[in-house]
Amino acid sequence: MLERLLITGANGALGSLCRARLGHLARVIRVSARGDLGEAGPNEEIIRCDLGDKAAVQALVEGCDGIVHMGGQPVEATWEIVRNANIDGMVNLYEAARKAPTRPRIVFASSNHAIGFHPQTERLDAKSSTRPDGYYGVSKVFGEALARMYFDKFGIETASIRIGSCVPEPVDHRMLSTWLSPDDLISLIERIFAIPVLGCPIIYGASNNDAGWWDNREVAYLGWQPKDNAEAYRAKLDAAQPRPGPEDPRARLQGGLFCADGIHED
């Protein structure tokens, strides 16, 4: 059991989920975000913090031996937004972790958008080349590289999870391949903190979907077995909406609509 687990971005979708369901992992859960986080729960402590503020981040990380880093910009945005949240924020977090005598182990919420330009007909594993689909995706490649550097140089362990689509249930056909059920995300994080030696793995965050694209064999040592399967929702999806056509990026590329130009409109 951890002494103190920090959850960043704890008011976001995934951060809230982690806050709600990971309380058993540590004696104290420190939840953090820029915005409001409500009341502290029984074993919680709340610290408001902007990840772009280096000194504040250092204070935030102090005393923690585990970090679930869900903070940052979660979708494509202008470069300035992505840079501040996902580039500078990551550096601040890892510098703080390096200085902390508690040597925190880190879960980094990377993203499938680090490999979004691979076609959906291709199977990937952790050794596949990165093909980010926008600033957001590039920032995740950056984050994984930063984590690896802090592992090789300073021994900080990180699990980079390339999260697919973590929502209560699949809401479009692409999610038949990318869905990560909340239960499976939680069980994955539990496994990451339970294993004595983690290393610095890249893990595809997807449930046991019949139509999955990603191969996690290399991280079988974690003992994580996702239990859910998006296939259970296929009929419902087929009934509710048309399948995307063959030219639609949602049907062609793993990153889906992120591969279409969104930000660079001028």
User: Contact between 42 and a second copy (CB under 8 A)?
Assistant: no
Contact by Cβ (8 Å): 29, 43: yes
Number of residues that bind a second copy (CB under 8 A): 69
136 counts as catalytic = yes
Pick 153 or 168: Cβ nearer a second copy: 153
Cα distances (Å, whole numbers) of residue 171 to 75, 154, 163, 183, 240 = 17, 41, 16, 17, 9
Cα–Cα distance measured from residue 204 to residue 149, given in angstroms and rounded to the nearest whole number? 20
Chosen residue from 75, 221, 227, 240 binding a second copy by CB under 8 A: 221
Chosen residue from 81, 237, 248, 257 binding a second copy by CB under 8 A: 248
CA 264, 214, 209, 238 torsion-angle sign: positive
One of 94, 136, 204, 233 is an active-site residue; which one? 136
Cα–Cα distance measured from residue 7 to residue 67, given in angstroms and rounded to the nearest whole number? 6
- Structure tokens given for 239: 């009934």
The 10 Å Cβ neighbour count of residue 106 is: 25
Per-residue binding letters, 176-215, with a second copy (x by CB under 8 A): xx----------------x-xxxx-x-------xxxxx-x
Pick 101 or 245: Cβ nearer a second copy: 245
User: Contact between 141 and a second copy (CB under 8 A)?
Assistant: yes
Long-range contacts of 209-214, Cβ-Cβ distance < 8 Å, separation of 24 or more: 209/176, 209/177, 209/178, 209/179, 210/176, 211/176, 211/177, 212/177, 213/118, 213/120, 213/122, 213/123, 213/124, 213/177, 213/178, 213/254, 214/123, 214/124, 214/125, 214/162, 214/164
User: Contact between 19 and a second copy (CB under 8 A)?
Assistant: no
Contact by Cβ (8 Å): 10, 47: no
Considering only 19-27, 68-76, 163-171, 246-254, which stretch makes contact with a second copy by CB under 8 A? 246-254
User: Contact between 133 and a second copy (CB under 8 A)?
Assistant: yes
User: How far apart are CB 11 and a second copy at their closest, in Å?
Assistant: 27
User: How far apart are CB 250 and a second copy at their closest, in Å?
Assistant: 8
- Structure tokens given for 7: 């959850």
The 10 Å Cβ neighbour count of residue 102 is: 15
What single-letter DSSP state applies at residue 110?
E
Chosen residue from 217, 235, 239, 265 binding a second copy by CB under 8 A: 217
User: Contact between 30 and a second copy (CB under 8 A)?
Assistant: no
Contact by Cβ (8 Å): 32, 12: no
Pick 42 or 196: Cβ nearer a second copy: 196
User: Contact between 257 and a second copy (CB under 8 A)?
Assistant: no
Pick 45 or 62: Cβ nearer a second copy: 62
Which residues participate in catalysis according to the annotation? 136
Positions touching a second copy (CB under 8 A) are 79, 83, 87-88, 91, 95, 98-99, 117, 119-123, 127, 129-135, 137-138, 141-142, 145-146, 148-149, 152-154, 173, 176-177, 194, 196-199, 201, 209-213, 215, 217-218, 220-225, 231, 234, 243-246, 248, 251-252, 259, 261, 264, 266
